[in-house]
Amino acid sequence: MSVRCRACIKCRSYVVIHPSNPVNQVEIKRFEKKHLGHTVVTVDINEVKGSYNSEKNNEQNKTAQQIE
Ligand SMILES: [Zn+2]
pLDDT in tens, 5-21: 999 999 999 999 999 99
Amino acid at residue number 44: D
By CB neighbour count within 10 A (0-12 exposed, 13-18 middle, 19+ buried), where does 11 fall? Answer: middle
Ligand 1 centroid to Cα of residue 25, in Å, is 18
**pTM of this structure:** 0.77
pLDDT given at position 29: 96
Ligand 1 centroid to Cα of residue 1, in Å, is 27
pLDDT in tens, 6-62: 999 999 999 999 999 999 999 999 999 999 999 999 999 999 999 999 987 555 545
Question: Is the pLDDT score of 66 beyond 90?
Answer: no
Ligand 1 centroid to Cα of residue 24, in Å, is 18
Ligand 1 centroid to Cα of residue 21, in Å, is 23
Question: Is the pLDDT score of 64 beyond 60?
Answer: no
pLDDT given at position 56: 72
pLDDT, mean over the chain:
86
